[in-house]
């Protein structure tokens, strides 16, 4: 039995390796991992203690906290093509581990892991492939947040450290900090704050304290300056973008974006308030927080919805326990998430479809399914 198990695992690893290499070849035929180049450029600037945030970089201006560039310096130790291959391999592995972990750790799982994983991959494939094609960091973000989603009650300090580290991958991981403070022992928030303090101070080892403070001010300026130009981008699925696309950029759409953001957070708080109805509340609550990230961030791109994978896993697994109406809703969500429109329609049609806000609405409906499951003590 043990030998057979080892053989099966080796076979799976070989299949994954072949699939990964084939995907890399297909992606590189059309894409150049453009976002990865942003990280590598920033890493080179950090190694030379140069300015990180430069408006003349245009759409590809570095928008991450300074510590990310400092930590990413090993990327410049390799040639560009080697670095891209290594980054892709790591990202592919992280995607596999991310999805597999969410499937096998789902509390009170009803479906077999293989089938549940396959169905989840089908629904989320568009976002996962886009993540890999761009050379993005959301898979890394998701992996760092896993200890908070699936193991926080067993290892609260690890959950705190992982959330603190995740902030330097994408700052909207800060959304997890209040949840840690309210639901876990005090040691979790101490670990998170301590990790944040270390990360915020790390660039001072290269730039000095005044230089580090200057970088933090420049980072904030960059986020502010790039938010408005990206608000109407077709791939932006944030609540701010949704309202701006429907009503135009202005005070009304901004007010509605804030109001709907507050309502979204209130809904997640309402779910957390019912956590005593289940033995393992963290998976659903953490999954909702991850799903909320691209909705609350003004620059929430559609592929960031891969962070919503925990909610897709749960909705598929609890399918038989959903009433007919919610099943229909989830099928609609799955179609919106899964169909790669840009592969089937013209660019103009794609822009119109994405400007409808359908993806944002689908994500909000997935939040509603999560709330329903908690209300019925199913998650």
pLDDT in tens, 250-284: 999 999 999 999 999 999 999 999 998 888 899 99
pLDDT digits 0-9 by tens, 182-235: 999 999 999 999 999 999 999 999 999 999 999 999 999 998 888 888 889 999
Q: Structural domain tally of the chain?
A: 1
Provide the 3-class DSSP secondary structure of residue 108: coil
Residue 128 lies in a domain: yes
Contact 24, 81 (CB under 8 A): no
Best-predicted range by mean pLDDT (53-57, 255-259, 341-345): 255-259
Residue 22 lies in a domain: no
pLDDT value of position 23 = 84
Provide the 3-class DSSP secondary structure of residue 49: coil
Q: From the CB of residue 137, how many other CB atoms can be counted at a distance below 10 Å?
A: 21
pLDDT value of position 215 = 94
Phi-psi region of 51 (alpha: psi -120 to 50; beta: other; left: phi over 0): beta
pLDDT value of position 344 = 79
Residue 5 lies in a domain: no
Q: Which domain holds residue 35?
A: 31-375
The average pLDDT across 113-132 equals 95
Q: Which of 317, 328, 327 is nearest to 379 (CA)?
A: 317
Of the chain, the percentage scoring pLDDT greater than 70 comes to 99
Higher-pLDDT residue of 24 and 67 is: 67
pLDDT value of position 1 = 63
Residue 378's pLDDT band, with cuts at 50, 70 and 90, is very high
Mean pLDDT of the chain: 92
**Residue 13 is inside which H or E element, if any?**
helix 2-28
Q: From the CB of residue 375, how many other CB atoms can be counted at a distance below 10 Å?
A: 13
The average pLDDT across 38-45 equals 94
pLDDT value of position 368 = 97
160 has a pLDDT exceeding 90: yes
**Residue 370 is inside which H or E element, if any?**
helix 358-375
How far, in Å, are 39, 173, 179, 329, 331 from residue 142 at the CA level? 18, 10, 16, 25, 24
Residue 295 lies in a domain: yes
pLDDT value of position 175 = 95
Residue 3 lies in a domain: no
Contact 321, 379 (CB under 8 A): no
Residue 222 lies in a domain: yes
The average pLDDT across 36-50 equals 94
Residue 21 lies in a domain: no
Residue 269 lies in a domain: yes
pLDDT value of position 262 = 97
Structure tokens that stand for 58 in this block: 């245009």
């Amino acid at each position: 039995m043990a030998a057979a198990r080892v053989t099966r695992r080796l076979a799976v690893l070989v299949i994954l390796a072949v699939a990964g290499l084939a995907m890399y070849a297909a992606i590189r035929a059309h894409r150049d991992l453009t976002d990865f180049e942003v990280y590598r450029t920033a890493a080179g600037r950090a190694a030379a203690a140069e300015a990180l945030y430069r408006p003349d970089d245009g759409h590809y201006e570095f928008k991450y906290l300074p510590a990310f560039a400092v930590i990413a310096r090993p990327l410049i130790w390799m040639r560009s093509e080697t670095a891209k291959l290594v980054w892709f391999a790591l990202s592919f592995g992280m995607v596999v581990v991310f999805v597999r972990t969410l499937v096998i750790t789902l509390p009170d799982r009803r479906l077999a892991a293989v089938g549940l994983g396959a169905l989840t991959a089908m629904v989320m494939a568009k976002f996962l492939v886009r993540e890999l094609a761009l050379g993005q960091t959301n898979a890394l973000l998701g992996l760092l947040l896993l200890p908070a989603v699936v193991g926080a009650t067993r290892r609260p300090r690890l959950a705190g450290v992982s959330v603190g580290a995740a902030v330097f991958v994408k700052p909207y991981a800060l959304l997890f900090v209040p949840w840690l403070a309210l639901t876990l022992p005090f040691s979790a928030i101490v670990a998170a704050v301590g990790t944040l303090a270390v990360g915020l101070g790390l660039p001072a080892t290269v730039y000095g304290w005044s230089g580090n403070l200057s970088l933090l001010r420049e980072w904030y300026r960059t986020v502010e300056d790039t938010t408005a130009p990206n608000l109407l981008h077709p791939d932006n699925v944030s609540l701010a973008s949704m309202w701006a696309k429907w009503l135009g950029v202005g005070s009304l759409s901004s007010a509605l974006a804030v109001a709907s953001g507050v309502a979204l957070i209130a809904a997640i708080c309402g779910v957390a308030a019912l956590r005593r109805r289940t033995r393992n509340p963290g998976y659903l609550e953490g999954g909702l927080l991850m799903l909320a990230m691209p909705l609350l961030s003004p620059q929430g791109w559609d592929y960031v919805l891969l962070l919503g994978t925990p909610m897709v896993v749960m909705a598929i697994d609890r399918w038989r326990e959903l009433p007919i109406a919610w099943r229909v809703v989830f099928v609609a969500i799955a179609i919106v998430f899964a169909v790669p429109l840009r592969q089937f329609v013209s660019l103009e049609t794609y822009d119109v479809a994405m400007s409808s806000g359908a993806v944002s609405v689908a994500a909000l409906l997935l939040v509603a399914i999560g709330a329903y499951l908690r209300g019925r003590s199913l998650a």
